[in-house]
Amino acid sequence: GENVEQHPSTLSVQEGDSAVIKCTYSDSASNYFPWYKQELGKGPQLIIDIRSNVGEKKDQRIAVTLNKTAKHFSLHITETQPEDSAVYFCAASTGGTSYGKLTFGQGTILTVHP
Partner 1 sequence: DGGITQSPKYLFRKEGQNVTLSCEQNLNHDAMYWYRQDPGQGLRLIYYSQIVNDFQKGDIAEGYSVSREKKESFPLTVTSAQKNPTAFYLCASSILGSSDTQYFGPGTRLTVL
d(CA 36, CA 26): 20
Give the nearer residue to partner 1 in terms of CB position, either 27 or 49.
Answer: 49
Q: Among 13-21, 53-61, 69-77, 90-98, which window interacts with partner 1 (CB under 8 A)?
A: 90-98
Judge contact between 70 and 110, C-beta under 8 A.
no
Under 8 Å between Cβ of 48 and 57: yes
19 close to 32: Cβ distance less than 8 angstroms: no
With CB under 8 A as the contact rule, the residue among 8, 46, 54, 61 that binds partner 1 is 46
Query: Is residue 44 within the footprint of partner 1 (CB under 8 A)?
Result: yes
Length of the chain: 114
Q: How far is CA 44 from CA 19, 34, 68, 76, 97, in A?
A: 19, 11, 25, 18, 24
Of residues 36, 47, 85, 88, which one binds partner 1 by CB under 8 A?
Answer: 36
105 near partner 1, rule: CB under 8 A: yes
Single out the residue of 44, 21, 24, 45 nearest to residue 92, CA to CA. 24
7: contact with partner 1 by CB under 8 A: no
**# chain residues binding partner 1, by CB under 8 A:** 26
State which of residues 21, 47, 107, 110 lies at the interface with partner 1 (CB under 8 A). 107
Judged by the rule CB under 8 A, the positions of this chain that interact with partner 1 are 4, 6, 9, 32, 34, 36, 41-46, 49, 89, 93, 95, 97-102, 104-107
